[in-house]
Structure 1
Amino acid sequence: MSMLWIAVIAASVLSFAQKWVGYQAPPDVLERPRVSRVTTLLPIALLGALVATQTATSGSEILLDARLAGLAAAVVLLCLRAPFLVVVVGAAVVTAGLRALGWS
């Protein structure tokens, strides 16, 4: 068995153990204000980090291209309270339009 498979299996076991420990936590611990605030904001922070890395990086380098303009269009549409589908389509249209114009 290669080291890659050992690492994958170890990560899977650790992930399962962490999930199991989370279920074993007493409810009074989860209802504390600080823990409640962190668990509420954590998915937002993780999604923001994912969007940032997928928009502004390519491999190990920072890249500013049409994806950033598409993200800016999505932010503007969200500020205008557009429906989510309109936000996604608008960002895709801006990105595709700029790429068609040669700005990759």
Structure 2
Amino acid sequence: MIWWAVLGAGVGCYLLKLAGLSVPARVLARPRVARAATLLPVALLSGLVAVQVLAAPSGAGLVADARLAGLGAAIALLVARAPFLVVVLGAAAVTAGLRALGG
């Protein structure tokens, strides 16, 4: 049963990718479509980050814990124009440190 779901999801992803590649160039050349195509990945990634940082482990409700402090550290490092590896390691260090302290 699970393999049918995996197979169906794979086919669905392939068809979605094919649909994106099938869009004519004249449609993508429109200013509104080009702007939406530029901003959509940022919005989706922001939503995924927010869900992963604020979701309660049980899946019900929102929680502010060490993950939120790690996100804050990452934002501060990005504003300071730190290299990406420093941002990731800094956020992980802050999160791990707070969790070690019981936060």
The TM tier, using the shorter chain, reads 0.7 to 0.9
Cα distance change on mapping 1:45 and 1:59 into 2, 3 Å? farther
The whole-number CA distance in structure 2 between the counterparts of 1:100 and 1:18 is 43
| Superposed counterparts of 1:13-92, under 5 Å | 13-57=11-55, 58-61=57-60, 62-92=62-92
Cα RMSD for the two superposed structures: 1.6
The whole-number CA distance in structure 1 between the counterparts of 2:85 and 2:6 is 36
Structure 1 residue 10 displacement after superposition: 3.3
Q: Secondary structure at the match of 1:25?
A: coil
Structure 1 residue 96 displacement after superposition: 1.0
Structure 1 residue 50 displacement after superposition: 1.2
Structure 1 residue 44 displacement after superposition: 0.9
Q: Secondary structure at the match of 1:69?
A: helix
TM (normalized to structure 1)? 0.84
Q: Unaligned 5+ residue runs, structure 1?
A: none
Q: How many aligned residue pairs are there?
A: 101
TM (normalized to structure 2)? 0.85
Structure 1 residue 15 displacement after superposition: 2.5
Q: Unaligned 5+ residue runs, structure 2?
A: none
Q: Secondary structure at the match of 2:81?
A: coil
Structure 1 residue 7 displacement after superposition: 4.0
